[in-house]
């Protein structure tokens, strides 16, 4: 299992977790389409923590049949999960949007790339995301 | 068409990754939204953007893009260049706006994706 600590607003570190996960999958010879779907999921999980949370972890559990990507953070939680799932909905501040983040595409990208997605959140505590990407679905 | 030829034909300035110009360019993608590029750009495409910060490098690398063209003569941050060299990401620059660069690239590649 790979595990990475992610700090809120640490934009310099965006890509460390997802990049390492991607390279690991390439090294073990995973199919290119699976690698891309996992990379998208890991990038969006990682980015959400950096934009919205105080701190968190990103994990990847790799097996020949599937990859599980998890994000668990301490942060504000998501008050309206239904809205957050809608493409285009974002609570990211303007300066973060100007960097090209916070387009409200995170959860929809995860949903599109993962075969299974679970999100649990508690306002004032944090958010947990679990994504399963199946090798056979590629 | 390889990246070196595209660079010559579009008059791009190479800022990083000069050792990786043999890469094949399969098309182009225009966006300034990182999640959009992650979702929709296809490996081998050239990414045209006005974003200049270091996360551009992470996205280009994650999506296996042929390279990044920063348009409108914008100057990438020092961290962006440093990170791009480290990760083997080719960053180029054009003085022209994205619309013009995309138009020229389209003409060059014959409307490939």
What pLDDT does residue A136 have?
72
* Residue A138's pLDDT band (cuts 50, 70, 90): very low
Cβ-based contacts of A43 with chain B (< 8 Å)? 38, 58-59, 62
CA distances from B81 to A15, A66, B7 (A): 15, 35, 18
Q: Between chain A and chain B, how many beta carbons pairs sit less than 8 Å apart? A: 64
The verdict on ipTM greater than 0.85 is yes
Calpha distance A75→B12 (Å, rounded): 43
CATH classification of A2-134 is 3.30.565.10, yes or no? yes
Instruction: Give the predicted TM-score (pTM) of the model.
Output: 0.95
Query: How far is the alpha carbon of B43 from chain A, nearest alpha carbon, in Å?
Result: 9
pLDDT in tens, A45-56: 999 999 999 999
Calpha distance B20→B24 (Å, rounded): 10
Domain residues of chain A, as ranges?
2-134
The separation between the first and the last C-alpha atoms of chain A, rounded to the nearest angstrom, is 22
Cβ-based contacts of B49 with chain A (< 8 Å)? 100
Encoded tokens for A69: 């990507």
DSSP assignment of B21-59: TTPBP-EEEE-S-HHHHHHH--TTEEEEES--STHHHHH
Contact between chains at A40 and B36 (C-beta distance less than 8 A): no
Query: How far is the alpha carbon of B9 from chain A, nearest alpha carbon, in Å?
Result: 29
Cβ-based contacts of B51 with chain A (< 8 Å)? 99-100
Query: How far is the alpha carbon of A40 from chain B, nearest alpha carbon, in Å?
Result: 6
Q: CATH for B3-109?
A: 3.40.1390.20
Show the CA angle centred on residue A81, arms to residues A12 and A45, nearest 5°: 25
Nearest CA in chain A to B33: A100
Give the phi and the psi of residue B12 in degrees, each rounded to 5.
Answer: -85, 150
pLDDT above 90: percentage of residues in chain A: 98
Contact between chains at B35 and A32 (C-beta distance less than 8 A): no
* Residue A59's pLDDT band (cuts 50, 70, 90): very high
Residues of A with a Cβ under 8 Å from any B Cβ are 11-12, 14-15, 18-19, 22, 32, 36, 39-40, 43-44, 47, 99-101, 103, 105-106, 109, 112
Q: Of A15, A32, A105, which has the smallest distance from its Cβ to B55's Cβ?
A: A15
pLDDT in tens, B93-102: 999 999 999 9
Q: Of A15, A40, A105, which has the smallest distance from its Cβ to B58's Cβ?
A: A15
Give the phi and the psi of residue A74 in degrees, each rounded to 5.
Answer: -100, 120
Place of tokens 């020092």: B78
pLDDT in tens, B27-82: 999 999 999 999 999 999 999 999 999 999 999 999 999 999 999 999 999 999 99
Calpha distance A118→A116 (Å, rounded): 7
Contact between chains at A105 and B35 (C-beta distance less than 8 A): yes
């Amino acid at each position: 299992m790979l595990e990475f600590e992610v700090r809120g607003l640490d934009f310099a570190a965006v890509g460390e977790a997802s990049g390492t996960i991607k390279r690991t999958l390439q090294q073990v010879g995973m199919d290119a389409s699976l690698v891309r779907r996992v990379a998208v999921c890991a990038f969006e999980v990682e980015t959400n923590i950096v934009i919205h949370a105080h701190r968190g972890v990103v994990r990847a559990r790799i097996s020949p049949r599937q990859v599980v990507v998890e994000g668990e953070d301490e942060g504000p939680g998501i008050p309206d999960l239904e809205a957050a799932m809608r493409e285009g909905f974002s609570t990211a501040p303007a300066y973060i949007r100007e960097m090209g983040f916070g387009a409200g595409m995170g959860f929809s990208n995860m949903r599109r790339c993962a075969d299974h997605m679970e999100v649990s959140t508690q306002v004032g505590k944090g958010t947990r995301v679990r994504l399963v990407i199946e090798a056979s679905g590629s | 068409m390889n990246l070196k030829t595209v660079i010559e034909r579009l008059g791009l300035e190479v800022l990083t990754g000069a050792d990786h110009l043999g890469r094949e360019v399969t098309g182009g993608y225009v966006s300034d939204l990182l999640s959009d590029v992650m979702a929709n750009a296809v490996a081998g495409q050239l990414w045209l953007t006005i974003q200049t910060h270091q996360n551009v490098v992470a996205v280009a690398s994650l999506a296996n893009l042929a390279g990044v063209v920063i348009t409108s003569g914008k100057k990438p941050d020092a961290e962006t260049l440093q990170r791009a060299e480290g990760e083997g990401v080719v960053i180029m620059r054009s003085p022209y706006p994205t619309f013009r660069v995309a138009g020229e690239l389209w003409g060059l590649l014959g409307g490939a994706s």
